[in-house]
Amino acid sequence: MKTFHLDAQFESMFEPNEMRLLALVSHNNMKESMKEFVIANKNLLKKFRLTGTQSTMMMLKDIFKDEPDITYGPICVSGPLGGDAQLVAMTVMGQLGGCIFFIDPMDSHPHNVDIECLCRQCNVHNILMTSNPTTATILLTALRFALQSGKMELMPSFFFNLESPSVAAYKKRQQAVITQYSEEN
């Protein structure tokens, strides 16, 4: 992937601990792309509390080394061992604000159901989610602007509990089932 140098240093209006976690995850064949992405966007990424699966987090620690202004969240286990499921739990519990997941579209994954569940729960909870380097690069432009200008409404999943617009209809259907069951008993 061609890297553009758009990562000037800047002041964020929010501290990393004031926001929910940003997860960085990459499949094995996408690790080099993730590494290039992180190096090209270090100044922006360090404005977040970072979490991810084990090998990606080890790569982050190697890139950032001993920088004092980097904040890490929990390190999840490898994806096939439940790391994606750990990220799902963080999403459901309101701890995750965004997920940059470089998914390998050319390989099969033994934990594909966990990957699908993570993507689904990011959609259910209206969490910022991107699955490839190009979309992630464009997304970071918006995040940089939101951080610099202090506009949390431009990155609401890092601050607020959200849900897909379809969740309200689901809850209404579920309430009808519960009401019917209660009336029958």
Q: Could you report the per-residue pLDDT of 27-85, keeping only the tens digit for each?
A: 889 999 999 999 999 999 999 999 999 999 999 999 999 888 899 999 999 988 999 99
Strands 128-130 and 96-102, bridge-based pairing: parallel
Average pLDDT value over all residues in the chain: 92
What CA dihedral angle connects 170, 171, 177 and 180, to 10 degrees?
Answer: -140
Which pLDDT score, from 0 to 100, does residue 185 have? 73
% of the chain at pLDDT higher than 90: 79
Tokens of 118: 């993570």
Q: Are 101 and 136 in contact (CB under 8 A)?
A: no
User: Exposed, middle or buried, 183 (CB in 10 Å: 0-12/13-18/19+)?
Assistant: exposed
Cite the active site residues.
84
Residues 6+ apart with CB under 8 A from 85: 114, 117, 118
Which pLDDT score, from 0 to 100, does residue 120 have? 96
| C-alpha separations of 80 from 53, 71, 137, 157, 170 in Å | 10, 25, 26, 26, 30
Tokens of 94: 């309101």
Predicted structure pTM score: 0.91
Other CB atoms within 10 Å distance of the CB of residue 66: 6
Q: Is the pLDDT of residue 110 over 70?
A: yes
Confidence of residue 5 (pLDDT cuts 50, 70, 90): low
Quick: pLDDT tens for 11-31: 999 999 999 999 999 988 999
